[in-house]
Amino acid sequence: MSALQIVPPAPALPPSSPPSPTIEPPVKHRRKKKEPLHLGYDDLERLFHVTKSPRDRAIFRVAYHAGLRASEIGLLDLRDYNQKTERIAVHRLKGSNSGDHHCCREESRTLHAWLKVRGSLPGPLFASNRRQGISRFMLDKLIKKYGFLAGVPAKLRHFHVFKHSCAVHLLDKGLGIEDVQDWLGHVNIQSTAIYAKITNPRRQRVAEQLMDTWR
């Protein structure tokens, strides 16, 4: 008889480690863009009323009606303004489209009053004491000064509020979003669309027009 062959026992398997928990990437929440702050019509009326300086009143009118940034106001030169056609060649920054701005009646009136004081000397349309284009710092001081005198809320006393107000008020007056885009020099229409969200009076008028006609 052959001897029995003793087979050694199989080595014990190491205890299985528990599965590592699945780590999910953090959810990225998109920050909701704040609606652009803008001046109400009453705010604007009070602001223009307390601005007695011909230069400052013309600055505010052009900034509001053309929708210009503070740095763009400082770029304006006397030769950019054509008194015969009542147009201003505006030079927009930050990739916006430049072009001619057609002045409204109030703009033209304030510009004519300012030019009577300024004279016809070549150079910046709105100059500082150093005969250079007025700075963003000085424009910020002006809007804070006159905004306080007009009782404008402190959060609205910044120069860029003129551009925001221009966009909102044009849409509120019934202009199409593409027309406002062209007026402000926006390259991307999404830059204009953010203002359309806050023109509730315009939506109300459209709703009233459609109420009995849209079937």
Q: Would the pLDDT of 134 be above 90?
A: yes
140-156 confidence digits (pLDDT tens): 999 999 999 999 999 99
Res. 15 pLDDT band, cuts 50 70 90:
low
Residues 75/133, Cβ–Cβ less than 8 Å? yes
Q: What percent of the chain has pLDDT over 90?
A: 62
**DSSP letters of the chain?**
-PPPPPPPPPPPPPPPPPPPPP-PPPPPPPPPPPPPP---HHHHHHHHHH---HHHHHHHHHHHHHT--HHHHHH-BGGGEETTTTEEEE---TTPPPEEEE--HHHHHHHHHHHHHH-S-SSBSSB-TTSSBPPHHHHHHHHHHHHHHTT--GGG-STTHHHHHHHHHHHHTT--HHHHHHHHT-SSTHHHHHHHTT-HHHHHHHHHHHHTT--
165-189 confidence digits (pLDDT tens): 999 999 988 888 899 999 999 988 8
84-110 confidence digits (pLDDT tens): 999 999 999 998 999 999 999 999 999
Q: Would the pLDDT of 200 be above 60?
A: no
Residue entry with tokens 């009118």 = 61
45-69 confidence digits (pLDDT tens): 999 999 999 999 999 999 999 999 9
Q: Would the pLDDT of 125 be above 90?
A: yes
Domain boundaries, the chain: 41-159
Res. 117 pLDDT band, cuts 50 70 90:
very high
Res. 191 pLDDT band, cuts 50 70 90:
confident
Superfamily holding 41-159: Intergrase catalytic core (1.10.443.10)
pLDDT value for 209: 66
pLDDT value for 25: 63
Residue entry with tokens 């406002």 = 180
Least confidently predicted of 87-91, 116-120, 130-134, 143-147: 130-134
More confidently predicted of 209 and 74: 74
Q: How far apart are the C-alpha atoms of 124 and 59, rounded to whole Å? A: 12
Res. 131 pLDDT band, cuts 50 70 90:
confident
pLDDT value for 155: 95
